Amino acid sequence: MGRGKLKAKQTKVARKLKYDTKFTDFEALALELAEIREEEE
């Protein structure tokens, strides 16, 4: 995935977490962060 798409995906996740504070799915967040770390290595 290119840097632009990766940044867009991170922004989307960040917005979802910021504005949807009623329920935070920490398992999904952990999976997302694990994917991002794998892509950066």
* Local confidence pLDDT in tens for the 41 residues of the chain: 577 888 898 899 888 877 776 777 788 888 888 887 766 66
pLDDT of residue 41: 63
d(CA 1, CA 20): 26
- Residue 40 is predicted with a pLDDT of 65
Angle formed at CA 36 by CA 30 and CA 41, multiple of 5 degrees: 125
pTM score > 0.95 for this model?
no
* CA gap 7, 23 in Å, rounded: 23
Burial (CB count <10 Å: 0-12, 13-18, 19+), residue 41: exposed
